[in-house]
A and B are shown apart, each in its own frame.
Chain A
């Protein structure tokens, strides 16, 4: 491949010529990750997805501050409250800063179900940095400041996404749930990563009988059906375990399958790279075996590792949600998207308070975004492929 063909791969057609003039030297001096990044940047969808995911994780990290309420707080008299509409114009038609109307509990005259009726005279402006439910930020600093909300003791609380059947704020719960649901994948991946690298590395490097055993284990694992095995293992977890232990046990279960793909990749790349000319050249240059593995071979499949890992992330997020939804993964009082859905699984809820299903689109978006990022990475990850 000639140099501009190569250049074009990273900056598009018209840009290629320009880029050649402007960034020629920068391009020639660009290392692997720089090239990967340039190529990834050309993948619009992946980039947008990456930004969306960044927002998701940001929210999960600062959940206490960003959520308007304590996710455990039950608002008496506001059970299954629908999302509070935000207005900027009052009944007289005057514009004012965003506000919400206070609501009164009433009964539907026809069905006699409890409903929440807005009171046009009770106006509660939305404020930034308001005092609300006390919390400990990251479990460390006690405070009660929230990013937004309505101020005052008897102000109408804001429920952007409504409350659930026992009066807890859905938005706050989604924010907190993201902590568990989004991190469980990452922890699972970390475990897969260590297992995959280690077992794949041993398999590829030593070969022989160890290799055979590991390969057979992988084959057996990959032929097992994923969801039923997860369910069996999750169901076997003692209910009385503390939340934290259940959490780690679940990640372990989720990563049972994650590492096999990675181990295969690592082994395959090791085996094929051992035969590469540049590895032989390094050996003849007098490089030690360790240097050859770390400096020559590992960077060569680092990108494959990333692809494999981002590929298994969505599966793990879905796995957690599915297990918790079925009531065999995490369970209350832990908050996760799966737990929220499990508590919403009631035809009554779906029919009358559809807003408790908000975790569904959130999970779907998270999984989709991970898939798009994965696609972008797959294309960008090996910038040296022709």
Chain B
């Protein structure tokens, strides 16, 4: 993948939380590639590190969390900006937290929509004033211009009567309207990359459909890259061009949207897909009910450090002596289809040798 078509690249990112109870390896060697105008979907069970990955990109990891290693390369030249003091290629992990550079990137280049729309807005200030603040922070415009811009943004996200809503307080809006206002705020500075962390999980399906539709339209208009985090595979299918499946702080599989559903390689992805109720099944079955497939066992707690593949205690294809000993490497099992699983190692012997080399 050449630099030209990539806007951001996460390489071997590790973000740990050092809490009195132990070390939580929330993100433990994540690689991601984000391309302009495309949507990267990130799925995985609760606690697998989706949000922490996103927060690392924004350098907003709350303490006691820390980026322990890896790189987050942001390619500024992909969409040239006029008067920018930033160099072309920036490693976000190297910027000082709260430095001028990271603040310039946040909002102006990368912005984020959070799961809980209430949390992103201050309850005591009007929607408009909060959007205007986001605008004036990054752009040199007058108060009047900023207000016009805010109203325009609210209109862009299909809020009715934007000139009235601009003076409303967040609690005066419904959940769906609030989430749209938050998106308006996130888009107010034309970010190149929008990180959406479960933006619709708290919403009803019909509202969710509206928001997803809106995000797709806005993406087409702005040629934005989107990193879309969710645990709903249905939403991923709707939104994403590429998918990264996470399990316990690692990306276990990454490929384009069709391959993930039609030809999932990682046993975790396969199990996940089989465990969701399928409407097609229900509609075509007659009489007899079907049991869902389940993944045996449970997600281990975050302090456990598992040897070998993190999925091995629950994996139906578990190979003893290999899976429980050697951490699987990233393997390009098929063109542009990456998987972290010993099943796809060139040969079992090789896995065995690797293990011996390690011991």
| A16 beta carbon closer than 8 Å to chain B | yes
B346 within 8 A of A: no
Contact with B along A1-23 (1 / 0, CB 8 A): 01111011100110011000000
Q: Which residues of A contact B302 (CB under 8 A)?
A: 2, 4-5
**Closest approach, in angstroms, between the C-beta of B41 and any C-beta of chain A?**
26
Query: How many residues on B have C-beta within 8 angstroms of the other chain's C-beta atoms?
Result: 11
Compute how far the CA of A12 lies from the CA of B303 in the bound complex, rounded to whole angstroms.
12
Q: Quick check: B304 and A8 within 8 Å, CB to CB?
A: no
Q: Closest residue of chain B to A7, judged by CB?
A: B21
Bound together, the chains give a CA A216 to CA B300 distance in angstroms of 51
A13-B301 in contact (CB<8A)? no
Size of the chain A interface, CB-CB below 8 angstroms: 11
**B287: interface (CB < 8 Å):** no
Q: Which of B19, B299, B303 has the most CB of A within 10 A?
A: B303
Main secondary structure of the interface of A (DSSP, over half): helix
**CA of A8 to CA of B24, assembled, Å:** 12
**CB of A219 to closest CB in B, whole Å:** 24
Asked whether any CB of chain A lies closer than 8 Å to the CB of B64, the reply is: no
What separation, in Å, do the CA atoms of A5 and B19 have in the docked complex? 10
Docked pose: A291 CA to B303 CA in angstroms: 39
B297 within 8 A of A: no
- In the assembled complex, the Cα of A2 lies from the Cα of B300 at a distance in Å of 8
Residues of A within 8 A of B23 (CB): 13
Q: In the assembly, what is the distance between CA of A7 and CA of B19, in Å?
A: 13
Does B62 sit at the interface, judged by CB under 8 A?
no
Nearest CB of chain A from residue B46's CB, rounded to whole Å: 10
**Is the pair B303, A4 in contact by a Cβ cutoff of 8 Å?**
yes
Residue among B20, B300, B304 facing the most chain A CB atoms (10 A cut-off): B20
Chain A residues contacting B299 (CB-CB under 8 Å) are 2
**A3 and B301 contacting across the interface, CB-CB below 8 Å:** yes
Q: What is the minimal beta-carbon distance from B306 to any residue of chain A, in angstroms? A: 13
Q: Tell yes or no: B234 within 8 A of A by CB.
A: no
The verdict on B335 contacting chain A, using a C-beta distance below 8 Å, is no
With a cutoff of 8 Å between Cβ atoms, the chain A residues found around residue B303 in the complex are 4-5, 8, 16-17
Instruction: Please report the C-alpha to C-alpha distance between residue A173 and residue B180 in the assembled complex, in whole angstroms.
Output: 72
Q: How far is the CB of A366 from chain B (nearest CB, A)?
A: 30
Contacting residues, chain B, for A7 (C-beta < 8 A): 21
Chain B, range 264-317, C-beta contacts under 8 Å to A = 299-304
Within 8 Å CB of B301, what residues of A? 2-5
Give, as a whole number of angstroms, the nearest-CB distance from B44 to chain A.
16
Neighbouring B residues of A8 by C-beta, 8 Å:
19-22, 303
A5 surroundings in chain B (CB, below 8 A): 21, 301-303
**Closest chain A CB from B309 CB (angstroms):** 20
Contact of B20 among A2, A3, A13 (CB under 8 A): A13
The residue on B at minimum CB distance from A1 is B301
CB contacts (< 8 Å) of A17 on chain B: these are 22, 303
A4 touching B20, Cβ below 8 Å: no
Rounded to whole Å, the gap between the CB of A44 and the closest CB of chain B is 13
B19, B22, B302 pick with most chain A CB within 10 angstroms:
B22
Instruction: Output the nearest chain A residue to B303 by Cβ-Cβ distance.
Output: A4
Residues in B whose Cβ lies below 8 Å from that of A3 = 301
Please give the residue numbers on chain B whose beta carbons come within 8 Å of chain A beta carbons, in ascending order.
19-23, 299-304
Q: Which 7 A-B pairs have the closest CB atoms?
A: A8-B21, A2-B301, A4-B301, A13-B22, A4-B303, A8-B22, A5-B301
